[in-house]
Structures are given as structure tokens and as C-alpha cells.
Amino acid sequence: MDHSQDTALLTALMEAAADAIIVADDHGLMQRTNPAADRLFGYDEGTLIGQSVNVLMPKVLADLHDGFMSHHLKTGEKRIIGIGRDVEGQRKDGTVFPLHLSVGRADIAGTPMFIGILHNLTARRAAQEALARSQRLDAVGQLTGGIAHDFNNLLTVIIGNLELLQMRGVDERQTDLIDDALASAELGADLTSRLLVFARKGDLKPTRVDLRQQCRDALAILRRTIGERYTIRTEFAKTLSAVMVDPVQLQSALINLALNARDAMPNGGEFLISVADVRIDDEYMAQETDIEPGDYVRLFISDDGEGMSIDAQRRAFEPFFTTKADKGGTGLGLAMVYGFVRQSGGHITLYSELGHGTSFGLYFPALKNTNAAKGKLSGAEASDMPFGTGQVVLVVEDNPRVRRLSIERVRDLGYKTEEAENGDEAFALLSAGAQVDLVFSDLVMPGTLNGYDLAAKVRQEFPHIKILLTSGYASDVISGKMGGSADDRILHKPYRQSELAERLQALL
């Protein structure tokens, strides 16, 4: 093979590679980059050539890198060369993300050249964090299940002895004492049975059910219980797959979540229950929800109440964790719901913002050969998705992890991105002259401008800029009090990549 063939083969290999490949000289100046590297770090094709590799990493790592390279060139010691390691990369827009870096060395005409292969670890890191959360709850569940089992044995002995005493004939004063003791022991038995559901060791009796009917049955009870200050809205899909769940436990979970919503709205309010089929067939959606790909029936319960802090959200499903200890809360309600959903083969998600409300999503595996035809659920295949041509999308999101994921999704669809962590910062960027074609903003954010406010100001000041709003709430439960307009069609989280692609194309 002659030199021109070698060059053509190297070019083809670099362009075909899904991972980023960078070739740099002994001064750390980049001589070649492949398209994957340009996309990963957010640079136009060819603009990295001649720049230092230090622009691709945070300053602290860049300083260390210079020291590593200097040491290697002087001593030949391989601290990086030939040894893969996890590092942090920095995009052109300043965002930092996790990478796996492998470096090789080649001496060409006596001059050392270095080849770096970089693999984006963002998705893997998110999956590891989700697994760690799940394992922590599983460990707590195992411990809880063991304790509950032992307590059940003790309570069985206590209840049995108390009943024997009753049968042997006792006076009225003793009867009252035994009745109180029995009532307390039975309350303890009820608590341990709920703990066993959390630990996924309780006995479920699953049957084929329609979640819409189950919700109607629960609402018949709830409407009599929660009072007139609360409005319950429903959004039920016209066709729906059946699921296999224990109807008694499902009713209990629904009532538990609804009463939680009521408690979060002490002065009255609205909550919404929605049911629909959903297909998780998109790596981004699976990553966002921590759910295995497949067909599910999704039940959302949303309220416009007080919302939950980040710490409360992290610990919400742990047994005995409660923010209502002063009101008699045991901290077992959500633990029981979590255990029931997981034991039913399902998943549960939580989205909340302090001061704006909370939304629980319960995902149950859909049974095959039911109303939902797979073709109707499926969105566009990746090859059929409409792609952008380099238009600039300003991503506005206060949660850093969600913001990173959103940026990655938008870039994968062929758009360039800018970012802001709230509406105030986004409007300041636009006012300073940032060239943007579309604003893609979360609805609920800290600061003076929520998503609706930002949209209204953009329409007034920058009418050429398109707007797309997104929200983790099941429906526009909070839109009324936030000042939403009919112009704002919400893209509800979690959304599929094909839905995002279609919305962006329609707007642009």
C-alpha cells in the first residue's frame, strides 16, 4: 500500500469512528480531528486544527496534562500512554462532561505524535447513578424485609396470647387493657405488612386490569374523602393496554398518592390523574426515566402544591422518611407505593419543584395483544428523524444533569446549542446579542422569569426567535396560575427523541 492509500484508509477510519479521535504533536497542538470529535466538543469542522488539546479540558486538568506530557517526553515513563483512564472534557460552550481517554504514541520521522481516542461517558455515568439509587433502595428493602418478618413472628405470639387471655374469662377492667393491647399489636402487624410490600416480599394477587377503571374506582372513594376545596381532573386515553397488577394494592397506592397530593395543598388546589400507553424505545428516554425499553402503561398523578426539596426527592421512597412527622406521618406511604410498583415489574418516577407541585409517574408493563397496536405507539426511526442544519437552539434548564442531557439530545439532531440555567439568564443572553434561532426552555425555573414569562418576553422583543417549552408535569396543572397562553404547546417530559425532532423541525 502506497502513502496515498495509507492516507485514504486513515481518513476513512477516522470519519467512520463513532468515538472522537484526535492526533496531536509533541507540543500538544492538534493536527487532525475526526467529525465525531468536532461534534463531541461543539466545534465547527476543522476549527480545532492547530489549537492546543488543553482547550478540550478544564483548566486544572490542562495544567496536569502539560506536566504529564513533559514528564513522559523527558523520561519515557507511561503514566497516560497506553493506559485508558476516565477524565473530564470541556466543550466549546464551557460545559464539562465525563470521558474515557486512551492515548497511543507513534514516532514519525523522529517526531513523537500522540493519538487520543475519547469515549463520551455521560450516558454510562447517568446509568450508574440510577443503578446506585436503585441498589440503595434494594438494600434498605432487604434489611426492612428481614426486620418486618421477625416482628411479625413476635406480634403473632403477642396477639395469640392476648386472645387466649380473652377466652379464659376476664373482668371488664382487664378486657379494656387487653383490647387496647390487641389494637396496638394489630396496628404493628399492619405496619410490618406494609414494610413487606416495600421489601417486595408481600403476597400480591395480580389480575388483568384496565388502569382507567381502577382510577375511576379510586376516585369514587377520594371524592368523598378529600373535600370540596380540591379539584380532581382526569385525562384517560381512549384506547389502553391492559396490565397485570394487584387491584387492591393499586387502589391503596392511588389513594396514598392522592392523599399526599392533598396534604401538599393545605389551602386547596387541583390535581390531575392521567393514563396512557407509552413506548420506551429511545436511549435518551430510558436514561431519563431509568426504565428498560419496552411497552408500558403510564399513570401520572400531579398536583400544584408545595413541591419537594431535592433532598426530599432523593429520599422520598425510603421507609420512615417523612416531612410530616409533626402531623402523624409514618414515612411508609411512598415506600409502600414504590415496593408495590417494583414488585409488579414496573417503575416509578418523581418530578417536583418547590412551590410549584409534584408529579409521580407509575409505569406498568403493558400486556401483549391488547388495544395498543405497536405501530401506533412507535415514533419515527432514527434514520427517518428530521435533522437540523446547524440552527442555534438556546437550552434553558435549571437542573444541571437534565440540561446536559437536553444539550446532547439537541446536538444529536444536527443543531448547535447555547445554554442558560434560568429564564433571567436566557433573556440576558438574548439581550446581549446572542444569535439564536429557537429557545427550548423548561417551564418551572427559579428566578423572576418562568418558562411562560420568558416566552412572552421573547415574542415581544425577539419575534423572529421560535419557542418550545417543556415540563415534567403530567399536564398543564400549573399553567393557570403561571400565566400560560394558548400559543404555548408543552413538550411533556419524558419525551422521545423523535418527538423532539418533529417539534424542532415544525418550528424551524
Where residue 282 sits, what CATH number does that domain have?
3.30.565.10
Q: Is the peptide bond before 365 cis (omega within 30 degrees of 0)?
A: no
Task: Spell out the per-residue pLDDT of the chain, length 508, in tens.
Answer: 555 666 778 778 888 888 889 888 888 889 889 999 998 898 988 899 998 888 888 876 655 555 556 555 555 555 556 567 888 888 888 888 888 888 888 887 778 888 888 888 887 777 666 666 565 556 555 556 556 666 666 777 787 788 888 777 777 778 878 887 877 777 666 666 655 554 444 556 788 889 999 888 888 777 766 767 788 888 898 999 999 888 877 877 887 788 878 887 878 888 888 898 988 876 666 666 667 788 899 998 888 888 887 777 777 777 665 655 454 444 556 777 887 788 788 888 888 878 778 888 899 999 875 444 444 334 444 556 788 888 999 999 988 878 888 898 899 899 999 999 999 999 999 999 999 999 999 887 888 898 889 999 999 999 999 999 987 765 455 555 555 554 567 787 777 788 888 899 999 8
User: In terms of residue numbers, what domain contains 184?
Assistant: 125-198
Q: Which of 376, 400, 432 is the last residue of a domain?
A: 376
Same domain, 103 and 181: no
Pairwise CA distance, residues 201 & 484, whole Å = 45
Question: What are the C-alpha distances in Å from 177 to residues 164, 182, 186, 187?
Answer: 14, 9, 14, 16
Pairwise CA distance, residues 63 & 325, whole Å = 50
Task: Pick left, alpha or beta for residue 99 (phi over 0 → left; psi -120 to 50 → alpha; otherwise beta).
Answer: beta
Same domain, 164 and 252: no
Question: What local confidence, expressed as pLDDT, does residue 393 receive?
Answer: 95
Question: What local confidence, expressed as pLDDT, does residue 308 receive?
Answer: 82
Q: What's the chain's Rg over C-alpha atoms? A: 28
Question: What local confidence, expressed as pLDDT, does residue 235 receive?
Answer: 87
CA 237 to chain centre: 23
The residue type of 338 is Y
Same domain, 155 and 214: no
For residue 234, what are the β-bridge partners? 273
Element spanning 160, H or E: helix 122-167
Question: What are the C-alpha distances in Å from 402 to residues 408, 417, 472, 501?
Answer: 10, 14, 11, 17
Same domain, 357 and 215: yes
The residue type of 223 is R
Q: Which of 82, 105, 120 is the last residue of a domain?
A: 120
Task: Give the CATH number, domain containing residue 75.
Answer: 3.30.450.20
**This prediction's pTM:** 0.50
CB atoms within 10 A of CB 13: 11
Task: Give the CATH number, domain containing residue 453.
Answer: 3.40.50.2300
Same domain, 215 and 156: no
Same domain, 225 and 341: yes
Nearest to 58 by CA among 41, 35, 78: 41
Question: What local confidence, expressed as pLDDT, does residue 302 receive?
Answer: 85
Same domain, 62 and 31: yes
Same domain, 392 and 473: yes
Nearest to 444 by CA among 391, 387, 483: 483
Same domain, 224 and 324: yes
Question: What local confidence, expressed as pLDDT, does residue 384 receive?
Answer: 67
Element spanning 299, H or E: strand 294-303
- Which triple of cell numbers denotes residue 291? 426504565
Same domain, 262 and 346: yes
- Which triple of cell numbers denotes residue 156? 403473632
Same domain, 103 and 168: no
Report whether 399 contacts 113 (CB < 8 A).
no
- Which triple of cell numbers denotes residue 25? 504533536
Strands 230-236 and 111-120: unpaired
Q: Which of 320, 347, 376 is the last residue of a domain?
A: 376
Question: What local confidence, expressed as pLDDT, does residue 444 receive?
Answer: 79
Domain count, the chain: 4
Same domain, 319 and 431: no
